[in-house]
């Protein structure tokens, strides 16, 4: 397996924690990510499903790097996640600056996504 494949498996594994928070520990998701807004259980589960989808894409792409459509879809999922968190912070103000760092560590938005963008490009 190539370094990109291993990297995508690491990203997917890190994202599983966000899936857990979305489904089973909404309080942690509220505190760690969306601390400046009301967040209901349904928001947490929706976030969990969305993150599970991106996690699945990472695992699938890790084992099928030669599939151009899957590769592009996975790459776009990183772009969408990055745009989502940036708009939540800069436009909607639902996140604190410190929460961006938390997301970067737990969900891999900053460190993992930036590195993945470089790998995928």
Task: Confirm whether pTM is higher than 0.85.
Answer: no
In the predicted model, is pLDDT for residue 101 greater than 50?
yes
When pLDDT is averaged across residues 65-85 and rounded to a whole number, the result is: 89
In the predicted model, is pLDDT for residue 117 greater than 60?
no
Would you kindly state where each structural domain of the chain is located, as residue ranges? 3-120
Q: Of residues 41 and 17, which shows the higher confidence score?
A: 41
**Distance between CA 70 and CA 73 in Å, rounded?**
5
**How many CB atoms are located within 10 Å of the residue 70 CB?**
15
Question: How would you write 35-99 as a 3-class SS string?
Answer: CCCCCCHHHHHHHHHHHHHHHHHHHHHHHCCCCHHHHHHHHHHHHHHHHHHHHHHHCCCCCCHHH
């Amino acid at each position: 397996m190539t370094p990109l494949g291993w990297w995508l498996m690491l990203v997917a594994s890190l994202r599983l924690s966000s899936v857990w928070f979305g489904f089973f520990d909404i309080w942690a998701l509220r505190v760690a990510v969306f601390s400046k807004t009301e967040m209901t259980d349904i928001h947490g589960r929706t976030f969990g499903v969305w993150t599970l989808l991106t996690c699945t894409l990472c695992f699938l792409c890790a084992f099928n790097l030669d599939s151009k459509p899957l590769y592009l879809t996975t790459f776009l999922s990183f772009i969408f996640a990055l745009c989502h968190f940036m708009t939540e912070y800069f436009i909607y103000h639902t996140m604190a600056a410190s929460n961006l760092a938390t997301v970067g560590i737990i969900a891999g938005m900053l460190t993992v996504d930036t590195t993945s963008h470089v790998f995928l490009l």
